Amino acid sequence: MSEPKTVSQPKFKQVTVMFIMTLFQLLCAMCVFVRQEELSINLVCIFFGYITAEWIYMLFGTIITHNDYFELEVIAFFLSGIGLTVCASFSETYALKQLIAIGLGLAVYLIMLLLIKDVRFACMLRYPAAVCSIGVLALNLVLARNINGTLNWIDLGFFSIQPSELVKIMFILVGAVSLEKLLSITSLTKYVIFSLGCVGALFLMKDFGTALIFFFTFILIAFMRSGNIRTIVLICAVALMGAVMIIYFKPYVANRFAAYRHVWDFMDTSGYQQTRVLIYSASGGLLGLGIGEGYLRDIYAASTDLVFGLICEEMGLIVALAVLFSFAGIAFFAVRSAKSSASTFYAIAAVSAAGMLLFQLSLNVFGITDLLPLTGVTLPFVSRGGSSMLCSWGLLAFIRAAGAPFEAPKADIPIKKAPKNAVKKPAQKGGAA
Partner 1 sequence: MRITSKRAAIVYALIVAFIAGVGFFVASLYVNGAEWASNKANRHIYSGGTIVNAGTIYDRNGVELAKSSDGERVFAENSTVRKSVLHVVGDTAGRISTGTHYLYRDVLSGYSKIEGIYNLKQTGVGTDIKLNIDSEANKVAYKALGDYDGAVAVYNYKTGELLCSVSKPAYDINKRPEDLLTNPEYDGILLDKVISGVYTPGSIMKIVTAACAIENIPDIYSRTFECDGEYETNDGTVICNGVHGEVDFQKAMNESCNCAFAEISIELGADKLRATAESMGFNSQLYAKEIRLTKSRFSPSTESKAELGWAGIGQSTTLVNPAHFLAIMGAIANNGTGYAPDRIHSLGAVSNIMGRNPENIVKIKPETAAKLDALLRSNVADKYGDWKFEGLMMCGKTGTAQIDGEKSHSWFVGYSQREDLPLAVVCVAEHGGYGSGVATTVSNKVMQYFAENLT
Q: CB nearer to partner 1: give 51 or 415.
A: 415
- DSSP codes, 402-418: HH-TTSPPPPPPP-TT-
Residue 5 CB neighbours (<10 A): 21
Could you say which residues in the range 397-416 bind partner 1, by CB under 8 A?
412
Residue placing its CB nearer to partner 1 in the complex, 201 or 356: 356
Q: How many CB atoms lie within 10 A of CB 179?
A: 21
Considering beta carbons, is residue 21 or 324 the nearer one to partner 1?
Answer: 324
Residue 260 binding partner 1, by CB under 8 A: no
Q: Binding to partner 1 (CB under 8 A): which residues in 203-222?
A: 220
| By the rule CB under 8 A, 331 interacts with partner 1 | yes
Binding piece for partner 1, criterion CB under 8 A, among 43-51, 73-81, 236-244, 354-362: 354-362
- CB hemisphere CA count around 170 (13 angstroms): 22
In angstroms, rounded to a whole number, what is the distance separating the alpha carbons of residues 231 and 219?
A: 9
Applying CB under 8 A, the span of 11-19, 149-157, 200-208, 356-364 interacting with partner 1 comes to 356-364
- Which of 105, 309, 355, 409 touches partner 1 by CB under 8 A? 355
SS3 content of the chain, % helix, strand, coil (to 5): 70, 5, 30
Segment lying near partner 1 (by CB under 8 A), choices 55-63, 75-83, 243-251, 334-342: 334-342
Amino acid code (one letter) for 78: F
Look at the chain and count its residues: 433
Kindly state whether residue 432 participates in binding partner 1, applying the rule CB under 8 A.
yes
Cα of 78 vs its chain's centroid, Å: 14
Among 332, 408, 410, 414, binds partner 1 (CB under 8 A): 332
CB closer to partner 1 out of 10 and 227? 227
- Choice from 95, 166, 202, 338 touching partner 1 (CB under 8 A): 338
For residues 270 and 72, give the distance between their C-alpha atoms in angstroms, rounded to a whole number.
Answer: 37
Q: Which is nearer to partner 1, 124 or 286 (CB)?
A: 286
Q: Which of residues 268-297 bind partner 1 (CB under 8 A)?
A: 275-276, 278-290, 293, 295
Residue among 62, 97, 75, 69 nearest 20 (CA)? 75
Stretch that binds partner 1, among 24-32, 114-122, 154-162, 344-352 (CB under 8 A): 344-352
| Stretch near partner 1 under the rule CB under 8 A, chosen from 87-95, 158-166, 182-190, 420-428 | 420-428
| Closer CB to partner 1, 102 or 219, in the complex | 219
Closest-CA residue to 318 (of 10, 24, 31, 34)? 24
CA atoms within 13 A on the CB side of 266: 16
Residue 77 touching partner 1 (CB under 8 A): no
Sheet holding 150-156, edge to edge: 145-147, 150-156, 159-161
Residue 343: φ, ψ to 5°: -150, 150
Cβ atoms of 119 and 404 closer than 8 Å: no
When asked if residue 10 is in the footprint of partner 1 (CB under 8 A), the reply is no
Phi, psi torsion values for 245, nearest 5 degrees: -65, -40
428 interacts with partner 1 by CB under 8 A = yes
Closer to partner 1 by Cβ: residue 55 or 295: 295
R_g of the chain, CA atoms, integer Å: 22
* Segment interacting with partner 1 (CB under 8 A) among 43-51, 106-114, 346-354, 380-388: 346-354
Q: How far apart, in whole angstroms, are the C-alpha atoms of residue 311 and residue 326?
A: 14
Residues that bind partner 1 (CB under 8 A): 220, 223-224, 227, 267, 275-276, 278-290, 293, 295, 298, 316-317, 321, 324, 327-328, 331-332, 334-335, 338-339, 344, 347-348, 350-351, 354-355, 358-359, 361-362, 365-366, 369, 371, 412, 422, 425-426, 428-429, 432
